[in-house]
Amino acid sequence: MKHSKFIIRFIFSVISFLTIINVPLSYGAENRVFRAGAAVSNITPLLGSGIIGEWTTPPASHVHDDLLARCLVLDDGSTELVFVVLDLLGIHTNLSDMAKKIIEQRLNIPPENIIISTTHTHSAASAMGSVWMEWNQYPLDEYQNYVISRIADVVQIAKNNLEPARIGWGVAKAPEHVFVRRWFVKEPVKNPFGGYDKVLTNPRYSNKNKTQPTTKPDPDVSFISVQSKDGRPIALFANYALHYIAGTGKGHISADYYGMFADYVSELINDKRNPKFVASMSNGASGNINNNDFSRPREKKKNYERINYVAKDIAGKVYDAYKHVVYHDWVPLGSQSEKITLKVRKPNQEMVNRAKKLLQNADNDKNQHVRERNYAKITLSQLKRPNQINIPLTTFKIGDLGIASIPFEVFVEIGLDIKARSPFKQTHIISLADGYHGYLPTPEQHELGGYETWLGTNNVEKEASVKIANQILKQFSDLQSN
């Protein structure tokens, strides 16, 4: 008993001494050095490349603003974490895998410590290959190989730029730019498969059949800020659950609001020293969120006017929050990456027969739905896909900040659910990371139907979001306990 009292008194004496000399106890940072580095590389495609994002792929005829690969590397002395954000609609999984393999060979950074995500701009060339819809492994095309080389380069440059740093994070509120694009309808609406849906995606303001949005958006703009020890800005990595905005010029290549947000943040921080400050915006859980408020008439804007307005406003809000960030001289880093197996949705025989009949009758102008023939082709291509796929889920720990990446266009409800149940004080959800496998609705939204749930737009089992969220939370828990 006497020995126990002595040990307890000794422990309290040590704690008191450390407190007096101001040694941080939270992360055990004594004699440890935290480092960070950032860089940018250009991934703008050649003019004439097909612009992906709509039902056709018109050739690019003008570059409004360059598409970039932006990178942030963090190092706590034992673990390196890498963020890469690409100004692309999406990437094929084999592109991400190949880039990570090169990075590991060149820089000795393990693949599970790397998240490669895309912004989802609809004004870019495709980096998913000409037959990406089939998900199988095909030879990489010329542009995909170019993007891979630029990813490896930007990570190497960012690692070259590593220097002693401090890190902090925060949240800005920007609710006025995010709106739910799926609305309930009074009377069910036809879908391309001969059935009916209870919701409509992107209804016009004038549509009298719509009633109310199906959920609520996430107003938070989460961000990480990194500075050198003397306070020079190194990077700002943001995350916002807003789909692309569009309103670019015909045939234009553009990074949409993501790139312009980065430009405006850089202007506000206004530090011209080298290495240059790097700002980036990653796509959050925005699969059913866009910038269109269908409850009121949409004001007509010139090309890029809305993009500029939203980007500048968000940048200003983030900058205001940035000025109040509390920085840490050292934080522990960690990562976990697991693959979960999901079933691939396949059409039943009735759907296959209907699709074949539609495609055989080329002169049929009495289709029930404007996209009926498009989805007839997609229905048949779905048969070529494997019966199941392995989905990579990577999670990072940065002190008491948790970050999860998901290779889908993730519905906002999923992101909000993970944030609410996360063991971390703050959590970021990065969509469209390390691959692209279509939309990820919740089981409840699947029951309502609508564009994002259609076969081919959504490709995996209807319970996939539940399995993904639970796996991410398990990984978070493991990271938190390590």
Distances in whole angstroms, Cα of residue 282 to Cα of each of 211, 243, 302, 353, 364: 31, 10, 25, 41, 43
pLDDT of residue 415: 98
Percent helix / strand / coil, the chain, rounded to 5: 30, 30, 40
Two structure tokens written together for 141: 């095309």
**Is-contact 46 63, C-beta < 8 A?**
no
Q: Crossing angle, helix 412-421 and helix 464-481, to 10 degrees?
A: 30
**Is-contact 361 343, C-beta < 8 A?**
no
Distances in whole angstroms, Cα of residue 14 to Cα of each of 4, 7, 24, 163: 16, 11, 13, 32
Q: Which residue carries 């002169």 as its tokens?
A: 363
How many CB atoms within 10 Å of residue 435? 25
**Is-contact 325 226, C-beta < 8 A?**
no
User: In degrees rounded to 5, what are phi and psi of residue 392?
Assistant: -80, 135
Cα–chain-centroid distance for residue 156? 22
Which positions ≥6 away from 100 have C-beta within 8 Å?
A: 111, 114, 116
The pairs formed by 369-378 with CB atoms below 8 angstroms and a separation of 24 or more are 369/190, 369/191, 369/192, 371/55, 371/192, 372/192, 374/55, 374/192, 375/192, 375/193, 375/454, 375/455, 375/456, 376/192, 378/133, 378/455, 378/456
- Cα within 13 Å of Cα(431), Cβ side: 35
pLDDT of residue 131: 56
pLDDT of residue 128: 87
**Is-contact 376 358, C-beta < 8 A?**
yes
DSSP code per residue over 13-61: HHHHHHHHTT--TTTT-TT---EEEEEEEE-PPPTTPBEESSSS-PBP-
The C-alpha atoms of residue 291 and residue 477 are separated, in whole angstroms, by: 34
Q: Are strands 80-86 and 114-118 parallel, antiparallel or unpaired?
A: parallel
What residue segments make up the domains of the chain, in order of their start? 35-179+213-335+392-453+462-481, 347-384
Per-residue pLDDT tens digits for 108-127: 999 999 999 999 999 999 99
pLDDT lower than 50: segments of the chain = 1-26
pLDDT of residue 130: 64
The C-alpha atoms of residue 414 and residue 348 are separated, in whole angstroms, by: 28
Two structure tokens written together for 125: 């060339």
